[in-house]
Homo-oligomer: A and B are copies of this chain.
Amino acid sequence: MGSEMASSGAAPEIRPVILCGGSGTRLWPASRESMPKQFARLVDPVQSTFQATALRVADQALFAKPTVIAAAESRFIAAEQLAQVGLSADILLEPQGRDSAAAVAVAALHAASADPQAIVLIMAADHVIGDADAFRAAVAAAAEGARAGQIMTLGIEPTRPATDYGYIRRGSALPAAAGYAVERFVEKPTQAGAERLIADGALWNSGYFLFRADVMLAELAAFAPDTLAGARAALEAAARDLDFIRLDAAAFATCPKISIDYAVMERTGRAGVVPVSFPWSDVGTWDAVWQVLDHDAAGNALRGRVELIDTKNSLVHSAGDGLTTVVGLEDVVVVTTPDAVLVASKARSGAVKELVGQLRAKAHPEADAHLRMYRPWGWYQRIDIGERFQVKRIQVVPGGRLSLQKHYHRAEHWVVVKGTAEVTVDERVALVHENEAIYLPIGSMHRLSNPGKIPLELIEVQVGSYTGEDDIIRVEDIYGR
């Protein structure tokens, strides 16, 4: 204990919590429920904002092992992306989204179970921060106030009179720590309101919070007792599921759907704020994505195979193999994916959320599902579909193993194009190598796994009267699905 105190001072560790809920519909079609923006690589082609967020608090001298609170459906992506950057975390799974108050309550309870006075740092998984050192310095400063019993936020110095952010009016300087008491939280203002707020020294509400676990629990008990009770019951009845902690669905469902801002921050007398000026964006719209990206001389931010004629100040993002071209336009967003294309006025890119609502109302599958669907064992992607057939490309990671399954309405032909497959068909087990094929008759019990050291890729040709995903009868699954 002595040497630990010598290296980290007398301060308790900061316990980072990454909130990963949210489906990011305003960045459709790159972000969809099946691969929301915090996991997509929209800003940086190498790293998702979730990964960048986790790496920002990876310094073990300053931060404890992080906790990730994610939607149950995102659990394999979250775990896989952490593994890619060499990190591990406690992953708590929300059976359904109940907004941020419930998630913060779970985070505070989880931290308190280890140390009631633990300092908890709540972070969004989908923000871009331009200066990690400045961020950590701000967190260290805010931690002082947290230790002194404040619920601290990071308040971003505004760079423009944004109307799509909440603002924080600061009051007097805190007596015992850096920062200010919060005078008032102000909802998204008008343009004129934003200008007045900025003139008065107000800050953008970033959604980052630092608090002592016991302080937050006391405030939740006072202002949001239902949320706290539901979160506590959900955590007490949580089930371990592989490496995940699955919150109890029935208990969690009793948590009111409310944000931590409404539930606690706007009511507590303990709110404090540390002003920060590092580059920050919540990348909430395609316009915001364009703003954080590098631009060429014409003000364009380009990704993938793109060709332009006389086009300016635009974001053109060509995902997949296709070629995307733009002629004679300014201030537009063009995002192309293999199954869906968005063309929008940059100024109206906030309306993409409304568009996705329209797509859902009309039952377009592209509203929520990506063509490439990630699974714990790898991914699959439909590459063709016709009247009585469907073709998929399937990748299985080394050691990956699909469920033991059968289909009532289709036969399948598998052609291995990379790696080696171990295929079980009824009683028989076969190794199928590159350039070999195997046939799975209708009704046969089968299982695919990758016993090798490199990813396995195969082409699956399904033939039958019905090729929907719901004609999969799972008999056994190592991933507990």
Q: Which residues of A are interface residues toward B (Cβ below 8 A)?
A: 29, 305, 307, 309-310, 318, 321-329, 332, 334, 336, 338-345, 347-349, 351-352, 354-355, 358-359, 362, 364, 366, 383-389, 391, 393, 411, 413, 415, 417-418, 434-435, 437, 439, 457, 459, 461, 463-464
Contacts and interface: CB of A to CB of B under 8 A. Distances in A.
Contacts of A463: 415, 417, 434-435
A417 B417 CA distance: 20
Contacts of A464: 435
Give 7 closest A-B pairs by Cβ, nearest first. A328-B348, A328-B345, A327-B344, A389-B417, A435-B463, A415-B461, A383-B384
Given A336-B336, A391-B459, A459-B461, A347 B364 contact: no
A265 to B, nearest CB: 33
Contacts of A437: 413, 437, 439, 461
Contacts of A341: 318, 322-325, 334, 336, 341
B364 A340 contact: no
A1 B340 CA distance: 62
A336 B366 CA distance: 16
- Most B CB atoms within 10 A — which of A323, A352, A393, A464? A323
Contact of A329 (B322, B343, B389, B459): B343
For the complex, would chain A's binding face be called helix, strand, loop or mixed by DSSP majority? strand
A339 B435 CA distance: 27
B386 A457 contact: yes
B334 A322 contact: no
Contact of A435 (B29, B324, B334, B411): B411
A332 B329 contact: yes
Contacts of A327: 342-345, 348-349, 351-352, 355
Contact of A307 (B351, B364, B413): B364
Given A354-B309, A391-B391, A411-B435, A325 B359 contact: yes
Nearest to A314: B343
Contacts of A439: 437
A352 to B, nearest CB: 6
Most chain B beta-carbon neighbours within 10 Å: one of A334, A339, A342, A435: A435
A383 B415 CA distance: 15
17 contacts: A307-B358, A307-B362, A321-B339, A322-B339, A322-B341, A325-B355, A327-B345, A327-B351, A328-B347, A343-B343, A386-B417, A411-B435, A413-B413, A413-B415, A415-B461, A417-B461, A437-B461
Given A340-B323, A341-B336, A391 B386 contact: no
Given A328-B347, A334-B341, A389-B417, 10 more contacts: A322-B338, A323-B364, A327-B348, A327-B349, A383-B383, A388-B434, A391-B393, A415-B415, A415-B463, A417-B463
B418 A388 contact: yes
A310 B391 contact: no
Contacts of A418: 386-389
A308 B320 CA distance: 23
Contacts of A328: 344-345, 347-348, 351
